[in-house]
Structure formats: C-alpha cells, structure tokens
Amino acid sequence: MASAGAGAPSIVEYFGGEDGNRCGYCKSEAGNLSHGMWAHSLTVQDYQDLIDRGWRRSAALNFQPSKSHKKVLKKMLKFLQVGEVSHCKNDGEPMDSQAGNPITCNVSIKDKSEIPEKELKPLNTELQETENDHQPPAKDSECHCSPDVGDGKADCGQSTNVETVIQSAPKPGEGADVNKPPCRKAKDLRKERRLQKQLLQHTCLSEQPSVSSSPKPNANPSKSLEDFIPAALPENAAHRLEFTRFLCDSPLEPETRPCGPACGYGSFHQQYWLDGKIIAVGVIDILPYCISSVYLYYDPDYSFISPGVYSALREIAFTRELHEKAAELCYYYMGFYIHTCPKMQYKGQYNPSQLLCPESYTWVPIEKCLPMLERSKYTRFNPNPKEGDRKTLTELGRVRVLHKQTVMPYSIYKKRRKGPSDEAAVKQYAGLVGQTCAERMLLYRS
C-alpha cells in the first residue's frame, strides 16, 4: 500500500466534557454537552471509524432524486444552457428554517378569488390555524409559484392539489360535552396526522406484492441522478460551470491506495467556477467507505440556483463515480441529524438514508427511526436489547498513550504518571472512540 504517512499513527488530545448548556439546534437549556478532541494527525481509516460512532449516512449507490431534487437539477441545467431561471421571492435553500419534514408532498393553495363565492364557508379555529401554517407568502402578480414544502423553495412548475374539508362554524352550546374526548391543540393533531401518513406510506411499500420473474419493461423508466448532470454542454450554452478539486491543509493525513480513487483520500476543497468566477466551495473528506460533506459556502448572489441542494447532489454523484474505482467507497455522509431542528430536517430527504443507533452503533433505515423520534428526542433505534456496542473497550489498560515521546499502554502510563489520576477522563475517551480506535490511536498525555 502506497501512502503519504500511512505508517504514522493518529495522535489525538482529549478534552473532558462540559456541563450541559443551551443547544442552538434543539433549544434545550441543558442539551449541549461538549466532548472535545484535538487531532494533531489523523489517518483516514481512524477518521472513518470515528465518524461511524456518531454520524449519519446515505446509501449513495441506491439514491434516487426526489421531485424537488429534480427541479433543482433542471433549474441549474436550464440556467447553464439558456441563462434563464425564475426568480421567486420565497425561493430558498432547504438548509434554512423554511425546510420541510423529511417526508412531505407538494401543495398548492388556491387564492380566494379563484373559488366560487357559493363554495366559501366560515372555518373553525382549528382549520384556520392549519391553513395558515401552509399559506405561502404574498407574491408579485407576475410570479405564479407553489411552495415546494420538500426543500423550502418555490419553483414554477408541477404541484399537487390537496382537497380540504371545509366545516361550518359550530353552533353556540353550553360548554364541553363530558361524553366526548377533550379538545386537543391543532399543532398536536397535525403532528399526529403527519406521523400516521408516514407510517401508512411505509406500510404500503412493505406490503406491495412481489414482482414476477419476467416483469414488463417500464415504458417510462425513472431517470437517475447522472441523467440530470450532462458530461458536457453544447457550444452555444449561455454559461459554463467547471469544477476544480484540490487537497487542503488538515490534520487528516492524505493517503493513496492501489485500489483507491485516483485523487486519493484526505480533505479536499471542491470549487465551483461559473464563467471563470468562483461562486461556491464545498469542503469534503474522502474516506475509505464514504465521502463526508463537511461544509459549503457560496456567493449569495447565486442563491436562486439553490447551490446547497445542487452541491449535495453533485457530491452524491461524485461518490458513485469514485465507487467505480474503489468498491468499498459507497456512502455519502451529511453529518448530524436533529429531528427537532427544522434546519436539519432537509437531510432526511436524501433517500435511502440511515441513522446510527446511539447505543448499539448499528445503522437503521430512517423511516423506522422517525416514529421513535416523534415520541422522544433521544431514543434507541435498535430494538434488540441484547445487541450493544460491539466496540466497547473492556480493558482500559490497553488504551495506547503517548507520554514524554514514548508510546505505551495506559497500564504502564498509569504507574509512571505523577500527580492526580486522570483515569476518569481516559475512560470517557475510550468509551467515546471505541475499542478499535482506542487501541490504534495515540492519546497524548502531558
């Protein structure tokens, strides 16, 4: 195996956890618990094993773009070919606070002037609140768009009408009927209906009859992601989009392998150049089993082409491209998923996706996790109580330590160490990184 520094072990420094403080994502006043680890150097394999103990992944090989994803790809293609894209005021990124739920549908709400007067009836309070939650902001008369709930953007195109049962106002009464269930908040009712719809969708999929051994060919097969990303544009295209990729300075040690991708493994900056001008930069890590999307920043003047969604789709396509050379590289990681944070929920739209069980560290399809997350912010996804963390370190003395420029097991270091015991911190570190990394990486101790 040829490698730039493949023989050098990872060297990390661990900083103990802090008391709980306010989390900017879930808004809990004590939900942010920080455990820090500074990597002086880190091999790509150690980094792969570390992120497999707390991150989320998507099966890039089986990925099929959703309708909202196809809209973004078509919009970008149209912009490059003819230079025309609709500019709607509520057109935005699915990463923002307008992002919808992981499983959603497109809705179009008719303007009052489009409904005959005889069909208009007063609404009860619950129905008014429900419609107001989905009502799009006012738009200019020249822009006729329906809000795409799936990714928080508005795009001129297809939509699905949703029939709403309009109830007449209730007659005045003498109070609550003790024989009927108590009233519930509209927010709770909407949440319950959404969960029931998700469960129904997945039940229907699982109960579909098996396909015969000689199925009829599909007259209109679904297009793959690559079908929307042409290898080359015509000579008369209005714009040119180019990509450059180069290694960036990082504790992650670059590495090449005979059966690995031509670009090697490590941290990369992927630049997006439009007509010779850089408009976006994606920060990615290429690891033995995945591409990990770290960050994206872009010129806000080009937010109308949805660079956040487009870059994610391009990175998924890049993962599939690298898989042709490196068979084990087949996943795309989007980082943490926080179900209660609207800014994080867009990640659930890239299917098929899996979430990592926080106790057994096994991967579970996201559709099985959603009902559990609706009931509790923290939950074990793996239903088997006997299946625990397979990489738990059982012998603390086997943790590798770097002390005074000497590599030794923790059992020896513990005897040589002067001063107060640090066993609690080392035990916490070993529990977080797991047995594989604890016995392979070097924990720096002064």
- Could you read off the pLDDT tens digit of each residue along the chain, which spans 446 residues? 334 445 789 999 998 766 667 776 666 666 666 678 899 999 999 999 998 887 567 778 899 899 999 999 999 999 999 987 766 544 444 443 333 333 322 222 233 333 344 443 333 333 233 333 333 333 333 333 333 333 333 333 333 233 333 333 444 555 555 566 666 677 777 777 776 666 665 544 444 444 444 445 555 567 889 988 988 888 899 999 999 998 888 899 999 999 999 999 999 999 999 999 999 999 999 999 999 999 999 999 999 999 999 999 999 999 999 999 999 999 999 988 888 888 887 888 898 999 999 889 889 999 999 999 999 888 999 998 888 888 888 889 999 999 999 999 999 999 998 888 999 999 999 988 999 999 999 999 98
State whether 401 and 306 are in the same domain: no
What is the distance in angstroms between the CA of the first residue and the CA of the last residue of the chain? 33
Q: What range does the domain containing 419 cover?
A: 11-41+392-445
What the block records as the tokens of 22 is 């306010």
State whether 348 and 396 are in the same domain: no
Q: How many of the other CB atoms lie within 10 Å of CB of 412?
A: 14
Cβ pair 47, 37 in contact under 8 A: no
Length of the chain: 446
Q: Within a domain: residue 180?
A: no
State whether 410 and 345 are in the same domain: no
CA–CA separation, 124 vs 104, rounded Å? Answer: 25
Q: Within a domain: residue 294?
A: yes
CA–CA separation, 79 vs 437, rounded Å? Answer: 47
Q: Within a domain: residue 187?
A: no
Among candidate residues 303, 334, 356, the one where a domain is terminated? 356
CA–CA separation, 274 vs 137, rounded Å? Answer: 31
| Angle ∠(284,17,384) on CA atoms, nearest 5 | 75
Local structure of 116: helix, strand or coil: coil
CA–CA separation, 339 vs 353, rounded Å? Answer: 14
Local structure of 73: helix, strand or coil: helix
Q: Burial-class residue 43 by CB neighbours within 10 Å (0-12, 13-18, 19+).
A: buried
State whether 296 and 259 are in the same domain: yes
Looking at residue 247, its pLDDT comes to: 86
- What is the count of structural domains for the chain? 2
Q: Within a domain: residue 181?
A: no
State whether 324 and 234 are in the same domain: yes
Sign of CA dihedral 331, 334, 337, 341: negative
Among candidate residues 356, 377, 400, the one where a domain is terminated? 356
Q: Which of 222, 261, 243, 381 is nearest to 314 (CA)?
A: 243
Looking at residue 11, its pLDDT comes to: 96
State whether 246 and 352 are in the same domain: yes
State whether 249 and 285 are in the same domain: yes
Cβ pair 149, 90 in contact under 8 A: no
